[in-house]
């Protein structure tokens, strides 16, 4: 790995894992040591992700035993979890126990939902099943890098794709005391947000050329967003969330609307958002309406705002697989190891996707 820190990936065959492997292939400080897939141990990573063949011509998926053996051989390592919620907690718990037993200094970023809540009861209330490793929850902090200067724990839970786009808009509104703490969120996501396994909602003939809502005002991400927003801003708020399925593969567009506490002009609102994110290298605030194509396949987020009728609307776009998942996880890992958070993530969006 040419002196790069070994990176271990749990849950290696999904879209998020594929995006994570793409980013790690170009990371100057991290190199892939092992990718766990209980369903495809010994199979070629390049067969699962043909677009990554040039980066990983010989890499094979590991079974759990080989994965743990590889982790024991390292003195220091990065652990990424891209496994599904409900499965991730047990895998992370076992991997961290393996590392501790071997004396391996490891930092973990969990991209699943399993470590986003501070208690097992809060998790179980939303996901309707027991948490796989409740004793580990205190070892994780859930936040966006843009909203937390210092991490109080060894490990991080990434807030997720819809949450990333929404929190980037919601947190400054609450932290700057601009709005009443009741926010209405409409989000549109690409089909990759539903995962790799084909289901009716991602089947191309049904989704192409169409737009429809799902889980309106009852989606499981709403309580996650509210909880993380409160921790980041110090303000408890009601989040009313209506997600939509869009006719594209990648990207998320979110519009957040709220009632202003006092009169504010659009220019002043944009200036306030820009100042709030002045030290955030991946967030750009502009007057023009943000477009999904301008951020797809990048770790960048674009925001804008409009004021009228005593309300404010903040528009936010991110790539669901990059900034909303794998890229955000790499950004966090950079922070956990005290590297520049931009390492391996500075490539602009390709455009015309």
Joined tokens for residue 149: 């200067």
81 is catalytic: no
CA angle, 33 as apex, 331 and 92 as ends, to 5°? Answer: 65
Cα–Cα distance between 78 and 56 in angstroms, integer?
Answer: 19
Cα–Cα distance between 303 and 278 in angstroms, integer?
Answer: 13
Dihedral of CA atoms 115, 110, 273, 166 in degrees, nearest 10, equals -70
Residue 262 neighbours by CB distance under 10 Å: 8
- Is 273 in contact with 172 (CB distance < 8 Å)? yes
- Is 315 in contact with 303 (CB distance < 8 Å)? yes
Q: Which of 81, 108, 142, 161 is catalytic?
A: 161
Q: For residue 325, give the DSSP letter.
A: I
Helix axes 15-25, 327-336, angle to 10 degrees: 50
The residues annotated as belonging to the active site are 161
């Amino acid at each position: 790995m040419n002196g790069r820190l070994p990176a271990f990936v749990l849950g290696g065959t999904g879209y998020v894992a594929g995006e994570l492997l793409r980013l790690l292939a170009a990371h100057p400080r991290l190199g892939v040591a092992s990718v766990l897939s209980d369903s495809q141990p010994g199979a070629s990573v390049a067969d699962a992700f043909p677009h990554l063949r040039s980066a990983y011509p010989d890499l094979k998926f590991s079974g759990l035993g080989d994965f743990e053996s590889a982790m024991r051989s390292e003195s220091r390592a990065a652990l990424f979890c891209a496994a599904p919620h409900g499965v991730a907690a047990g895998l992370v718990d076992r991997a961290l126990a393996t590392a501790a037993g071997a004396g391996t200094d490891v930092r973990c970023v969990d991209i699943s939902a399993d470590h986003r809540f501070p208690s097992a009861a809060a998790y179980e209330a939303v996901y309707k099943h027991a948490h796989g490793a409740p004793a580990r929850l205190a070892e994780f902090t859930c936040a966006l890098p843009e909203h937390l200067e210092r991490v109080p724990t060894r490990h991080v839970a990434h807030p997720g794709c819809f949450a990333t786009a929404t929190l980037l808009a919601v947190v400054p509104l609450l932290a700057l005391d601009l709005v009443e703490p009741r926010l209405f969120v409409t989000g549109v996501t690409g089909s990759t947000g539903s995962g790799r396994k084909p289901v009716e909602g991602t089947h191309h003939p049904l989704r192409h050329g169409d737009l429809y809502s799902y889980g309106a005002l009852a989606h499981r991400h709403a309580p996650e967003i509210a909880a993380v927003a409160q921790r980041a801003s110090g303000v408890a708020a009601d989040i009313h969330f209506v997600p939509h399925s869009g006719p594209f593969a990648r990207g998320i567009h979110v519009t957040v609307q709220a009632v202003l506490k006092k009169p504010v002009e659009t220019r002043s609102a944009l200036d306030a958002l820009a100042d709030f994110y002045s030290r955030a290298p991946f967030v750009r605030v502009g007057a023009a309406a943000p477009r999904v194509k301008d951020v797809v396949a990048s770790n960048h987020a674009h925001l804008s705002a409009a004021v009228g009728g005593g309300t404010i609307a903040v528009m936010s776009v991110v790539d669901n697989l990059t900034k909303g998942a794998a890229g955000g996880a790499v950004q966090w890992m950079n922070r956990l190891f005290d590297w520049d958070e931009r390492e391996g993530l500075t490539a602009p969006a390709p455009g015309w996707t």
